[in-house]
Amino acid sequence: MSDQVLIVFFSHYGNTQRIADLIHELTGGTLFRIEAERPYPDSYNAVVDQVKHEIHEGFRPSINSSPVDLDPYTTIFIGSPNWWSTIAPPVLTFLEANDLSGKVIVPFCTHGGNGLGNVEKDIRRLCPSSTFLDSLAISGSSGADAQPMVAAWIHRIGLEEQS
């Protein structure tokens, strides 16, 4: 199954990267990291100010991730931090630039207490011709506890790598 699974994600502080890595280990899928062309600041307060402004203004940041050929993939995990109850602006840029029609989409997010928020709803809006599997929301502070939660979710949606 690994040649059919793509794990697309944006991670600023490393939490979403950690979940993407776990998904990779469990599914054998290919990792694809979305990177903002202009990196977000390290300071939490500066990120808060910038992202609130970007979301409010509908800003789409340029991304410097290499283009990815989506044709070979049937299932695409979409990972983002939950920033003010929605996906991070770089994920929005990626989704608007790529046609995921006919793909199986599996959203996941990390959060600081807001759970899934509108992450799944917003991804569904941007991918209206896709099929969706159950989403996963993991607290960014879960750390070592994330592995069993991710493994249970991957098992529940039937996407474990087959040996």
Residue 88: is it exposed, middle or buried by C-beta count within 10 angstroms (0-12/13-18/19+)? Answer: buried
Whether residue 1 is predicted with pLDDT greater than 50 in this model: the reply is no
**Is 1 or 126 the better-scoring residue by pLDDT?**
126
pLDDT band at 75 (very low <50, low <70, confident <90, very high): very high
115 secondary structure, DSSP code: T
Q: Is the pTM of this model over 0.85?
A: yes
User: What fold, for 2-156?
Assistant: Rossmann fold (3.40.50)
Q: How far are the Cα atoms of 11, 48, 68, 125 from residue 111, in angstroms, in the given order? A: 11, 14, 26, 20
- The domains of the chain are located at 2-156
CA dihedral 27, 28, 29, 35 (to 10 degrees): 110
Best CA proximity match to 70, nearest among 91, 35, 95:
95
* Between residues 55 and 11, the one the model is more confident about: 11
* Amino acid present at 14: G
Q: What is the pLDDT of residue 142?
A: 74
Q: What is the pLDDT of residue 34?
A: 96
What pLDDT does residue 59 have? 87
pLDDT in tens, 13-55: 999 999 999 999 999 999 999 999 999 998 988 988 998 899 8
Grade residue 144 by pLDDT with cuts at 50, 70 and 90: low
pLDDT at 45: 86
Give Cα separations from 11 to 4, 29, 74, 117 (angstroms).
Answer: 23, 18, 23, 17
Q: Residue 143 pLDDT more than 80?
A: no
Structure confidence by residue, pLDDT tens digits, 46-56: 988 998 899 88
Q: Which residue, chain included where needed, has tokens 């977000």?
A: 40
The pLDDT mean for the chain works out to 92
Coil/strand/helix, residue 8: strand
